[in-house]
């Protein structure tokens, strides 16, 4: 059995041997390196520790492992838009090639305080902009379930690393779905917490009012354990809230009998793939057979949510990315003669096409003649999306729907028309716009391609959401990585 397949498996190895930590670390490293090899590499990582630490009375220099802590000795991967002092933080962009942050993100520091060992940094769509991890300046990540297909995005490297069994858990970030969506496409669990639950300090900003740090893991319980370690107030993030972290020991595969589960009709429209629909219907059958009350609900703003997201996110991105000018931040183009050329060439050469598209779009919707018609209108819609969800969540315990309209798509198939790519976020953006927690759990597959079911609960209800998620996980009994023999 792969000792990296769960936190419990890691802990078993760690406690069974004096040199368990060194063994676990080198196993993780060997598996991570293997993902970078071969004709069609998975390419989950952008940087890795160069050596596994040796174990002694004191961990070797550079090792973050300390005795004790709920993640003591556990290798964890971190998306490469989350700052770390031990590795570069490139955001998948040429703009930040080789950049090493002078500080680590609060979430990373908390992982390390809980004893975790950061194995490496994972690939992503440039600055988190994308749904497939094909928009990385360092090449695409492939889906471990089928290497001709995308792992989803933008946290595709983190999802692939977990699904392929190199680490039991990884940090990702979600602005519109980048934790749940790749989790669904790779057949693992993706947890996006309530906005303000996990500090964004050290998460490189894409769209600040929508950005969240989230967790990818192989089980709901493991995701909840990592969330507990990284959650909590941080005075360095002005939007961080004073709430106790949700407790993983309160997550139990709760009784589903009597729970009311709202099923939004809008998530089952024409764009839903037939295979995904069939897997969802089978899951709903299982839920109602064990006594859950399946209640049809309506979220009329679903279609508008995507349009609203693709105005607000680029608007904020255009402002956040203005700092990469080759002077204060970012790579400076060599051999420039004028200031104008310095800005133009540094940004022109540093950013990829998708990032440029967002900057142009964002600048457009914020420009004086367009501001009211696009940006202000999108803010009003955002309010409506949140109101719709809160109204429904006043009537049911959780909303349950597909995470994505389709399973993993072939590499390259949605690169020609950007709006095809954007539609992969149809079902995930609402939870980001509303700031509520959401969770994707693997519920089956379509011809071997994993399918995720998504739960959404009210703000700060992660414990309840994870308990329902754990119950669904147990009910469905589906473990795609194991089903594929990844271990
Ligand atoms: N796919 C969405 C986008 O391209 C969401 C990305 C994210 O959550 N970081 O903006």
Task: State the CB neighbour count (10 A cutoff) for residue 230.
Answer: 27
Helix, coil or strand: residue 266: helix
DSSP type of residue 460: T
Show the domains of the chain with their CATH numbers: 7-258+438-476 (3.90.1300.10)
Q: Do 433 and 210 meet the contact criterion of CB atoms below 8 Å apart?
A: yes
Residues of the chain with pLDDT under 50: 55-64
Ligand 1 lined by 177 (C-beta under 6 Å):
yes
- Sheet hosting strand 438-446, strand order edge to edge: 45-48, 117-122, 75-79, 169-174, 212-217, 189-192, 438-446, 449-456, 398-402, 260-264, 293-297
Which residues 6+ apart lie within 8 Å of 56 measured at CB?
A: none
Q: CB of 47 closer than 6 A to ligand 1?
A: no
Which residue's CA is the closest to the ligand 1 atom numbered 5? 176
> For residue 281, how many C-alpha atoms fall within 13 Å in the half-sphere facing its CB?
9
pLDDT at 482: 61
- The per-residue pLDDT for 52 is 65
| Closest ligand 1 atom, residue 432 Cα | 8
pLDDT at site 50: 83
Give the atom of ligand 1 at the shortest distance from the alpha carbon of 153: 1
* Average pLDDT taken over every residue of the chain: 94
pLDDT of residue 232: 98
* Residue among 120, 115, 118 nearest 15 (CA): 115
pLDDT given at position 60:
46
Neighbours of 477 (CB within 10 A): 7
> What span, in angstroms and rounded, lies between the C-alpha atoms of 485 and 145?
10
| Closest by CA position to 135, among listed 285, 354, 310, 327 | 354
pLDDT the model gives residue 484: 63
Burial of 249 (0-12, 13-18, 19+ CB in 10 A): exposed
Ligand 1 mean position, distance from CA 310 (Å): 9
Query: What DSSP assignment string belongs to 102-143?
Result: SS--HHHHHHHHTT-EEEEEE--SGGG--SSS---TT----B
Sign of dihedral through CA atoms 92, 445, 276, 395?
negative
- What is the per-residue pLDDT for 487? 54
d(CA 393, CA 391): 6
> What residue spans of 290-411 are helical by DSSP H?
302-320, 339-350, 353-366, 377-393
- How confident is the model at residue 84, as a pLDDT? 97
Atom of ligand 1 nearest to the CA of 174: 8
Phi, psi of 168 (to 5 degrees): -80, -20
Q: Choose the residue to mutate in 81, 181, 423, 438 for probing ligand 1, maximizing ligand atoms within 8 Å of C-beta.
A: 181
pTM, two decimals, is 0.96
Q: Which residues, at least 6 apart from 219, have a Cβ–Cβ distance to it below 8 Å?
A: 6, 189, 470, 473
Q: Give me the catalytic one of 5, 47, 154, 346.
A: 154
Q: What is the pLDDT of residue 63?
A: 46
Which H or E run contains 11?
helix 7-16
Tokens at 45, concatenated:
């990582």
Catalytic residue among 136, 178, 406, 467: 178
Place of tokens 């089956």: 444
Q: Catalytic residue at 79?
A: yes
CA distance linking residue 176 with residue 366, whole number of Å: 20
What number of CA atoms fall less than 13 Å from residue 380's CA on the CB side?
Answer: 7
Interacting residues of 178 by C-beta distance below 8 A, sequence separation 6+? 124, 125, 128, 131, 153, 154, 155, 172
Q: What is the pLDDT of residue 343?
A: 97
Pick the atom of ligand 1 nearest to 429's CA. Answer: 5
Rounded Cα distance, 219 and 470, in Å: 8
């Amino acid at each position: 059995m792969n000792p990296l397949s769960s936190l419990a498996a890691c802990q078993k190895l760690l406690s069974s041997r004096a040199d368990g930590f060194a063994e676990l670390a080198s196993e993780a490293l060997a598996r991570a390196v293997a993902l970078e090899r071969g004709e069609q590499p998975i390419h989950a990582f952008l940087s890795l520790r160069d050596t596994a630490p040796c174990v002694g009375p004191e961990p070797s220099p550079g090792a973050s492992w300390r005795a004790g802590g709920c993640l003591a000795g556990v290798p964890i991967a971190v998306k490469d838009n989350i700052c770390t002092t031990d590795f570069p933080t490139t955001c998948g962009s040429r703009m930040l090639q080789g950049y090493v942050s002078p500080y680590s993100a609060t979430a990373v520091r908390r992982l390390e305080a809980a004893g975790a060992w950061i194995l490496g940094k994972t690939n992503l769509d440039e600055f988190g902009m994308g749904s497939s991890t094909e928009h990385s300046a360092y090449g695409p990540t492939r889906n471990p379930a089928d290497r001709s297909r995308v792992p989803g995005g933008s946290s595709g490297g983190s999802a692939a690393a977990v699904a392929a069994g190199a680490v039991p858990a990884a940090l990702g970030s979600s602005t519109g779905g980048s934790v749940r969506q790749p989790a669904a496409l790779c057949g693992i669990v993706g947890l996006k917490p309530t906005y303000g639950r996990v500090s964004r300090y050290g998460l490189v900003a894409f769209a600040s009012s929508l950005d969240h740090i989230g967790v990818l893991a192989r089980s709901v319980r493991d995701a909840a354990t990592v969330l507990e370690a990284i959650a909590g107030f941080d005075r360095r993030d002005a939007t961080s809230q004073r709430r106790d972290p949700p407790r993983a020991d309160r997550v139990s595969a709760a009784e589903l009998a009597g729970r009311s589960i709202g099923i939004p009709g809008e998530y089952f429209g024409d764009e839903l793939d037939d295979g995904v629909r069939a897997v969802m219907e089978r899951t709903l059958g299982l839920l109602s057979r064990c006594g859950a009350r399946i209640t049809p609900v309506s979220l009329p703003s679903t279609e508008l949510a995507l349009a609203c997201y693709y105005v607000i996110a680029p608007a904020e991105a255009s402002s956040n990315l203005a700092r990469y000018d080759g002077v204060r931040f970012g790579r400076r183009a060599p051999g420039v003669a004028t200031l104008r050329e310095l800005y133009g060439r540094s940004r022109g050469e540093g950013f990829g096409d998708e990032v440029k598209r967002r900057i142009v779009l964002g600048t457009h919707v914020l420009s004086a003649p367009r501001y009211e018609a696009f940006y202000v209108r999108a803010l009003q819609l955002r309010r409506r999306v949140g109101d719709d969800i809160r109204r429904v969540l006043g009537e049911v315990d959780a909303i349950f729907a597909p995470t994505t309209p389709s399973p993993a798509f072939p590499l390259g198939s949605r690169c020609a028309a950007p709006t095809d790519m954007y539609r992969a976020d149809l079902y995930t953006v609402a939870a980001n716009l509303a700031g509520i927690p959401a969770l994707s759990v693997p519920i089956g597959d379509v011809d071997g391609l994993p399918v995720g079911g998504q739960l959404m609960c009210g703000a700060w209800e992660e414990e309840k959401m994870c308990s329902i998620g754990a119950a669904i996980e147990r009910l469905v009994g589906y473990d795609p990585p194991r089903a594929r023999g990844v271990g």
